[in-house]
A = this chain, B = another copy of it.
Amino acid sequence: MENFVFQSPTKIIFGKGVEASVGEEVKLHGTKVLFHYGGGSIKKTGLYQRVVDSLGAAGVDFVELGGVQPNPRLSLVHQGIELCREEKVDLVLAVGGGSVIDSAKAIALGVPYEGDVWDFFAGKALPGAALPVGVVLTLPAAGSEASDSCVITKEDGWLKRGFSTQFNRPVFAFMNPELTFTLPPYQTACGAADIMAHVMERYFTNTPHVELTDRMCEAVLKVIIKNIPIALREPDNYEARAEIMWASTLAHNGLLSTGRTGDWASHQIEHELSGIYDVAHGAGLAVVFPAWMKYVFRRDVQRFVQFAVRVWNVEEDFFDPEGTALEGIRRMTEFFRSIGLPVTLRDLEIPDDRLKEMAEKTKKGPDGTVGQFVKLTTEDVLNILKLAK
């Protein structure tokens, strides 16, 4: 186990109807908020009005900025920063999923910063302060409601980049599983892939002796694998939706990273897919991860055997570890397919004429490689993309 520092201070308010008290919670942090959201779905479902009512009842004033798109854009972030400055906003309230929350985080980072907030994402500067961010979550997937990460897309060049800092941890997150009853099946499935990918990026590590976090990773994966098919069959099954929602947070609040080095190559590779083709992040991950696994699993076959046996209930063939490992990868791929996700680039209708460009654009470290479990060169990334065809 490696040394680590872990602090996840986000206050989680979880359960039926909890969003009715969002105004009171906001009030602990100020009296003027930016109400930030995406498309019109929160107006259709009535959530928009319930939040407005709760803010009003608590005597909290707000300005609003909707229109966050999936793969949230830098230009809207810039707009939000201006608005917060003009209106002297105390807190950014994100009502939505990961895109809205990430957009809110970037706005919160940008408000007290004199330069362009993109500097943080480009690795040119570090923040010294940020506005607090609060969340009403509508989509269990990104885990952004309690994570220290934030991913923004710069339209100029379609660069999608992440930036992690403790300032990104929301001060509170309201999580009502009922709000996810109306999610379309495809979004539910994409969320599953996103949650599972967050766990698997951490699970495939070269750090020895990480037994507790291994088992906690397996717990989250098994709960998702069991409950996603239930939520797809019965969209308003509260218990299944609740298990999925809490799992999504724990998959990415940093707990499962404690004492171990994660990989994250698949996320970087996927960023180029969704950056260029604007596919759903979870769908892109469902395509990249099986290919990545097939390409790297020989680096530590026993880790993949453990994954196959404990997570996918593969009966271990003690005389064929590679076969056992591959059966785990096969079952994962079949699971993705069974819940309606693409598992190849062809499924995503992505042609193979820009694979080289994506491999080259994939963000590398100073040594020119991406990933930790296996350090991948541009050629390796290209090979993985070809395996994903």
Contact = CB atoms under 8 A, between A and B. Distances in A.
For the complex formed by this chain, how many copies does it contain in all? Answer: 2
Contacts of A13: 5
Contacts of A12: 4-7, 258
Interface string A1-25: 1111111111111111010000000
A209 B239 contact: yes
A5 B14 contact: yes
A270 to B, nearest CB: 25
Interface stretch (A215-223, A278-286, A318-326, A337-345): A215-223
A1 to B, nearest CB: 4
Interface in A289-304: none
B243 A212 contact: yes
A223 B1 CA distance: 14
A156 to B, nearest CB: 38
Interface string A252-265: 00010011000000
Nearest to A219: B215
A9 B8 CA distance: 6
Nearest to A17: B3
A1 B259 contact: no
A246 interface: yes
A212 B246 contact: yes
Contacts of A34: none
A196 B8 CA distance: 24
Contacts of A246: 1, 212, 258-259
Interface string A223-241: 1001100000000001100
A243 B255 CA distance: 14
A11 B1 contact: no
A242 interface: yes
A374 to B, nearest CB: 23
A367 interface: no
Contacts of A11: 5-7
Given A209-B239, A216-B219, A8 B8 contact: yes
A137 interface: no
Contacts of A9: 7-9
Contacts of A222: 215
A223 B227 contact: no
Contacts of A3: 14-16, 18
10 contacts: A1-B15, A4-B12, A4-B14, A5-B11, A5-B13, A5-B14, A6-B12, A212-B246, A212-B250, A250-B255
Closest A-B pairs by Cβ, 8 of them: A3-B15, A215-B219, A9-B9, A209-B239, A7-B11, A1-B242, A6-B12, A212-B223
